[in-house]
Amino acid sequence: MQPVLLVDREGAVATVTLNRPESKNALTRELIVALGRELTRLDDDDAVRAVVLTGSGAAFCSGADLKAGMADFGEVSVETRIDEFHAAIRAIVHSKKPFVARVDGPAVGFGADLALACDLRVMSSRAYLQEKFVKIGLMPDGGGTFWLPRLIGMGRALEYLLLGERIDASVALELGLTHRVVAPEDLTATATALAEALAKGPPLALAQIRAAVRESFSGTIDDALAREKAGQAGLLASADVVEGVLAWAQKRPPEFKGK
């Protein structure tokens, strides 16, 4: 029996693959718990500098497995089940590592939320995002009501959340929801190249940047300046800054160590 989650390492890039292609990688309790656990483990692995999140087959993730979910709810409470899903979102958001979502085919429901939680998204030309919860009388529960207004504005977010319409890759590019749209056969190489570029960057600075940006939607400009002051003071005392300046002076690529 195939594992429901695959983890591959190539240098400093870890690729995490949802592996239930027969259901377009629909999320069972087994899969979402394994995902949260593995993402937490990767965050503690200093050898990993960037993470690619993707799905097997021609799909990213079709959301929660509703058939399996009925049985899962018999094992635990609704609140516990939702907390298990939220653990995966929190693992992405609070990680020190940058995340790239490699999206082929559908990213629907909680699958869309997983993709939106990542820092960068690369989509194939046949990919789409869809917050489809409303179609079955539900609301997003993986951060969709948080991500979409911040990424595309309240008006457009409400349109897609209230109507549950799909956002095709070309539209996602226009809206700024994806950073690259490529042919399906070029998707893996494009996402990997982006992750490798991030993996070569200064880990301490990347962690501070992503944390500051994610926290910037609360508070004032003074709060943002205080975050930047604290972060910059720490970075100026790091060995990575010394390496960065030396590399610039010597006209060579820097070799950041995250120290």
Q: What's the chain's average pLDDT? A: 92
Q: Is 248 exposed, middle or buried (0-12, 13-18, 19+ CB in 10 A)?
A: exposed
Residue 156 in domain: yes
**Does 185 share its domain with 210?**
no
Tell me the pLDDT band of 55, cut-offs 50, 70 and 90.
Answer: very high
**Predicted pLDDT at 72:** 60
pTM for this structure?
Answer: 0.91
Q: What percent of the chain has pLDDT over 90?
A: 74
Query: For the residues 24-49, what does the mean pLDDT come to?
Result: 96
Pick from 183, 231, 225: nearest CA to 204: 231
**Predicted pLDDT at 217:** 83
CATH number of the domain enclosing 38: 3.90.226.10
**Does 81 share its domain with 153?**
yes
**Does 21 share its domain with 141?**
yes
Residues 147-159: tens digit of each pLDDT: 999 999 999 999 9
Read out DSSP for 163-230?
H--EEEHHHHHHHTS-SEEE-GGGHHHHHHHHHHHHHTS-HHHHHHHHHHHHHTTSS-HHHHHHHHHH
How big is the chain by its Cα radius of gyration, in Å? Answer: 19
**Does 184 share its domain with 219?**
no
**Does 86 share its domain with 162?**
yes
**Does 64 share its domain with 180?**
yes
User: By residue range, what is the domain housing residue 242?
Assistant: 203-250
